[in-house]
Chain A
Amino acid sequence: MEKSSRDNGTTALSDVSAALDSVVNISERWLAFLRRRLDRVRIISSVLTGLITWSIIAGATVGLLIITYTPYYIIHNQALMLILFGIYAVAGAFSGMACYIIISRKRTPDLDELAILIAEMKDSNGGVKLTANALAAAEKIIEILPRTIRKRNQDAILFGVAAFILSVIVVHLLPLDIIVGVGVWFYFKHELDKSYAKGVSRLEGEKKLFEKKKKEFMDSL
């Protein structure tokens, strides 16, 4: 059916245009997905930075107070501690936001290049680079995906920090809270590493298959 319809010049051109339009649409969806994923990584990094900043300042203050005064002083000045921790939380939030702004300013050449390819495909409207750009877009997506998957490694740390905070609120026993946090972190790290390794090896396989098919196509000419 497809072959016979392609015997007619006009139908063939519309078939080709439809196929390339589909490539443009799919590429746009991938670009949107990759940008969302990148933004998620930025948010996670910022949250982690904020939490780490807060923990370091708060930890240092508590340590300093214990050394200078006594634990008794801390227990009996809870209002002061709350105010201090509140100020540190604001400092943490600011450092998180600053981190987000700095990371957002970092250029993403791969995604920018993909966006340019898509824009050119849409603008060219049957132009001379449409097929070459479609090929470049497909190759770019296959190339970017394994790297994007690797960037999710911070998720495990975030789960660990969340578990630690939850444990601090519920259990109130620092050694146990640390064990819970570290345990959750390692558990998710192990699980995510396993699934990432699987995903990355599959995507690397797709990359190799793409190169193989490219060679096969050239050999067939």
Chain B
Amino acid sequence: MERPDLYVLARFLDIIYRTGSPMKRTNIQMLLGVNYPRFIEYLDWMVDHGLVLEVLDEEKTERITLTPKGIDAYHRLVDWIKETIEGVKL
């Protein structure tokens, strides 16, 4: 994937950040509302960029969690949106 859609990335980050705990792939994919191959593309991109991490839980199930870089990216995104909308003047 060359350049992912920022809106999908925002939703991806939102889902994991707000859940607050590692999530199963299928749960994220369903909430994200994209097909599975597309979801995998996004997941791979985010793993490659160090935004999310795949971990194993106690039942040895693969779960996805945000890395500190992912959390920082989400905070920066929210701050930027707020600054942008506050800066709009007529």
A contact residues vs B (CB 8 Å cutoff): 6, 9, 12-13, 15-16, 19-20, 22-23, 26-27, 30, 33, 126-132, 134-138, 141-142, 145, 149, 199, 203, 206, 210, 213-214, 217-218, 220-221
Contacts and interface: CB of A to CB of B under 8 A. Distances in A.
A62 B86 CA distance: 56
Interface in B1-52: 3-4, 6-11, 13-15, 17-18, 20, 31-32, 49, 51
Per DSSP, chain B at the interface is helix
Contacts of A19: 78-79, 81-82
B8 to A, nearest CB: 8
Nearest to B20: A9
B11 A138 contact: no
Contact of A135 (B6, B31, B75): B6
Interface in B73-90: 73-82, 84-88, 90
| Shortest 6 CB-CB contacts between residues of A and residues of B | A132-B10, A131-B10, A19-B82, A138-B85, A131-B14, A132-B11
B81 A214 contact: no
Contact of A26 (B51, B79, B85): B85
B11 A129 contact: yes
Contacts of A221: 9, 49, 51, 73
Contacts of A145: 88, 90
Contacts of B6: 135, 214, 217-218
A129 B10 CA distance: 8
- Counting chain B CB atoms within 10 Å of each CB, which of A30, A33, A130, A131 scores highest? A131
